[in-house]
């Protein structure tokens, strides 16, 4: 996935919320909706104003998009993903966010283990 396709319209978000499945941990809620026939995945983000000011919310969204790009080759294609961040995310580092998001995506069974670099 070279470019990151985004969910932007409210109508698209509502379809994923109504028809998709949700998976959660303490930091993130992920909605996944399978679409057959599309050769790409789309990502929608939701970061509440409770997380902080606009600078903090944009910072969190940038981290999530970067993490999603890192997982792109391991994610199932033809899915729409909505990632909702919860309050603990505002105090987490990039590595902690990555581990937490990886956990919830594995829980959703949309992230494969191939391509993972072994830890030494």
Burial code (b: 16+ CB inside 10 Å, e: under 16) for 71-106 equals beebbeeebbbbbbbbeebbebeeeebbebbbbbbe
* pLDDT over 60 (residue 45): yes
- When pLDDT is averaged across residues 66-89 and rounded to a whole number, the result is 90
**With bands split at pLDDT 50, 70 and 90, how would you rate the model's confidence at 49?**
very high
Long-range contacts of 53-58 (CB under 8 A, 24+ apart): 56/90
Q: Are 71 and 110 in contact (CB under 8 A)?
A: no
Q: What is the architecture, at CATH level 2, of domain 5-107?
A: 2-Layer Sandwich (3.30)
């Amino acid at each position: 996935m070279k470019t990151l396709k985004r969910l932007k319209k409210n109508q698209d978000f509502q379809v994923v919320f109504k028809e998709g499945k949700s998976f959660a941990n303490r930091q993130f809620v992920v909605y996944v909706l399978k679409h057959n026939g599309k050769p790409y995945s789309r990502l929608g983000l939701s970061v509440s104003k409770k997380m902080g000011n606009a600078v903090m919310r944009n910072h969190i969204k940038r981290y999530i998009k970067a993490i999603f790009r890192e997982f792109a080759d391991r994610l199932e294609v033809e899915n729409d993903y909505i990632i909702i961040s919860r309050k603990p995310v505002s105090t987490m580092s990039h590595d902690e966010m990555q581990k937490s998001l990886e956990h919830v995506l594995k829980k959703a069974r949309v992230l494969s283990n191939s391509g993972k670099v072994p830890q030494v």
